[in-house]
Structure 1
Amino acid sequence: MSLGQQLAPHLPFLRRYGRALTGSQTHGDRYVRATLEAIVAAPDEFPREVDPRLGLYRMFQAIWTSTNYDETPENMSAGDLDGQESIARARLARMTPLSRQALLLTAMEGFTPEDAAYLIDVDTSEVELLVTEALAEIEKQTRARVLIIEDEPIIAMDIETIVRDLGHDVTGVAVTRDEAVALAMEDRPGLVLADIQLADDSSGIDAVKDILAEFEVPVIFITAFPERLLTGERPEPTFLITKPFQRSTVKAAIAQALFFDQATVPVI
C-alpha cells in the first residue's frame, strides 16, 4: 500500500484538528495542505518508524511549529489572517501554545499521552500538566450562554451537565429546527451546540443556517459521521464532535470554540 493510501483515511481528522487549532476552516485546511505538500516534496522525511496517522500529525506539527501565528504556510499571506485569529493572539499570549495543542490532541483527537508527547516534543509526564493548564486558562477567559440543539434526551442532559460544569449557562434545549430558531431569537446565545439529525427529521445544519442569518455565534456540530463534514471540498464546520463522545472531547471543543470571539462556522 502506498503512503498516500495509508494517509488518506486520516486526512478528515487532521482537518478537524487543524480547524480547531486555528479557529478557521480556511486556515486549518491550508495547514493540512502545506503538510501534504511537504510530504510529497520530501517523502523520505516522513517518519516511517511510527503508525502512519502518528507520522501524519507529526508532519503537521512540524509545519505548525515552524509557522504558528507569526508566520503562515507557503501561499498563505499575512493578510489572509482573519479577525478571530487576531483576537486569539491576545489570549494565546496568556497561554502556552503547547498546552492548547496537548488538549486538542488528547481530548479531541484521542491520542494517548505518550503519542501526544511525541507529537509536541515533550516528556510524557508533562502532557497531563499541559492539558490541565490549557483547560484552566481557557475557562478563565471564556464564559457563554449556550443553546443546545439535540433530540436525544439523555445526550442533551449529558451535554447540559458538561456545559454547566464548565461555568456556562444554558439558554434552552431544542429538539427541532423551528424550536431551535425560536429559542435563539428569544434568548440570544453566545454558543450553539447542534446535532445534525433532529426529532422531526429536520436538520440541525438548517437550524444553524437560520440562526446565523440573524446574528453571528460560534457553533459546534455533533455527528456520528464527522468524515462527511471534513472533506475540505466545500464550506464546512470548524468545530465538530463525534458521536459517541467523551466528556473531555465536549469540554475541549467548547473551550476552543469560545477561544474566538466571533462565529467561526461557515454556512453549509
Structure 2
Amino acid sequence: MSQALAPHLPFLRRYARALTGGQQSGDAYVRACLQAIVDDPSVLPEGESPRVALYHLFHALWSGTHVDAGEGSLTGAEATAQERLSTIPPTGRQALLLVAMEGFSEAEAARIMDLSEDGVRGLVTEALAEIDRQTRTSVLIIEDEPMISMDLSGIVEELGHQVSSVARTRDEAVRAVEARRPGLVLADIQLADGSSGIDAVKDILASFAVPVIFITAFPERLLTGERPEPTFLLTKPFDPRTVKAAISQALFFRSSASLAA
C-alpha cells in the first residue's frame, strides 16, 4: 500500500496547500489522512485507483473533520482565503482544483466528492466565474522560451489580466519589477543565460510580497519535502486549464488590499 500511495503524496500535499491556503494547515490534513489509513487500511477500497481513493479519503476528512494545524492564528494568505470563502462555496473551489489543477476527470472528481459529473461541472464553472470576478492584476512572466512565453501571455490575457513584462533572465526580471510591480509572477526555473528563476523570485520577494507560480520541467528541484515549498508548482508540458486554475487560486489567496498592483 505504501508503494502504491507514495508517488501521489507530493501532489496531495500540493493540493492540500492550495485548498487550505497554507503549507502547515494543508500538511496537517495530509497527516490525518495517512494516520486514518494506518489505523484502518480498509478506508481505501480494493479495486479502486489508489490516487482516487486517497483523494476521496482526504475529501471526507477535510469536509467533516477539524484538524488542528498547530497554528495560533491564520496567516495573511489564510485570512484572505477565509474572507473569500464566504462568497465561494468550498465545494466549488475543491472541484476546480481536482479537475483543473490535479488533472482528474470529471467522473473521478465526482467519485472523490460523492457528486454527479454534472454537479462537478457546474461547480467548476461557478468557481471560475466568481474567482475571476474578484481578481484582476498584472502578471510578470519569467520564461526564456518564446513560444512558451507567448502561450502563457495568451492565457493570462484570456483570463482578463495584463502582462506587465516578459523576462528571459534573472537580471531582466529584477529590472522589470523595478519598473512596475506585478500582482503575480509566473516563473520558469532554468533561464536563458544559465541563471535561475528561483533566484530571480528570491530577489523579487526580498523587495515585496507577491504570489508566485513556478512552471518547470524540473519539479523535483522544488518538491523536496523540506520547507518552504511553493504552494503553486506546475510541470511542463502544461495544460492551459491547469495554468488558468493555478492563476485563479494564487490570486484567490492574495490580499484583496493589494489587487490594484
Q: Shorter-normalised TM-score: what interval? A: over 0.9
Structure 1 residues 229 and 30 mapped into 2: Cα distance closer, same or farther (>3 Å)? farther
In structure 1, the partner of 2:258 is none
Percent identical across equivalent pairs?
Answer: 64
Match of residue 65, structure 1, among 49, 58, 63? 63
Gaps of 5+ in 1: 263-268
In structure 2, the partner of 1:83 is 76
In structure 2, the partner of 1:112 is 105
Secondary structure in structure 1 of the residue aligned to 2:207? coil
In structure 1, the partner of 2:7 is 9
**Paired residue type of 1:60:** F
1:146 partnered with 2:139:
yes
In structure 2, the partner of 1:210 is 203
Match of residue 186, structure 1, among 168, 175, 179? 179
Q: Give the alignment's Cα RMSD to 1 decimal.
A: 1.4
Secondary structure in structure 2 of the residue aligned to 1:217? coil
Gaps of 5+ in 2: 256-261
Q: What is the alpha-carbon distance in structure 1 between the residues aligned to residue 6 and residue 71 of structure 2? A: 29
Match of residue 26, structure 1, among 19, 24, 27? 24
Secondary structure in structure 2 of the residue aligned to 1:198? coil
**Paired residue type of 1:103:** L
Secondary structure in structure 2 of the residue aligned to 1:170? strand
The residue correspondences of 1:94-243 to structure 2 (distance < 5 A) are 94-243=87-236
Greater shift, 237-246 or 17-26, is seen at: 17-26
In structure 1, the partner of 2:251 is 258
TM-aligned CA deviation for residue 80 of structure 1: 4.4
Match of residue 46, structure 1, among 19, 44, 47? 44
Q: What is the alpha-carbon distance in structure 2 between the residues aligned to residue 236 and residue 217 of structure 1? A: 15
TM-aligned CA deviation for residue 90 of structure 1: 2.0
**Paired residue type of 1:254:** I
TM-aligned CA deviation for residue 228 of structure 1: 4.0
Q: What is the alpha-carbon distance in structure 1 between the residues aligned to residue 19 and residue 221 of structure 2? A: 20
Secondary structure in structure 1 of the residue aligned to 2:37? helix
